[in-house]
Amino acid sequence: MYKLKTIIIAVCVLFTACGSDDDGSTSPTTNVYVAGYEHNGTRNVAKYWKNGEEIALTDGSQNAYAYDITIDNGNVYVVGNESNGTNNVAKYWKNGTEVTLTNGSHD
């Protein structure tokens, strides 16, 4: 009788331990964003990466750098600068569209 009780308890514990913890809800999707730049062989290209996929912000005709990134209400904002050949021009990009903050007459 003792063996039978032990087996029944062991089976109950086994089925309880193997129960599903799924409450039916789904986990929120987490995206990873990174701002930076990459050398194309001649110049630095401002870019950001979303989940490892790169998005170029500049064409590589001048040196450009992306320094920081934030996401607000689904909009991606990246701050950085791009050379105009003489000085650096402060910029930000909203969803990849460039917005110039300075005229580039001085650094």
What is the domain range of residue 46? 32-107
In a domain, 1, yes or no: no
Taking the whole predicted model, whether its pTM rises above 0.85 is answered as no
pLDDT in tens, 54-71: 999 999 999 999 999 999
pLDDT in tens, 74-91: 999 999 999 999 999 999
In a domain, 3, yes or no: no
CB 81 within 8 A of CB 63: no
In a domain, 7, yes or no: no
Cα separation, 60 vs 54, in Å, equals: 14
Structure tokens at 78: 């990246």
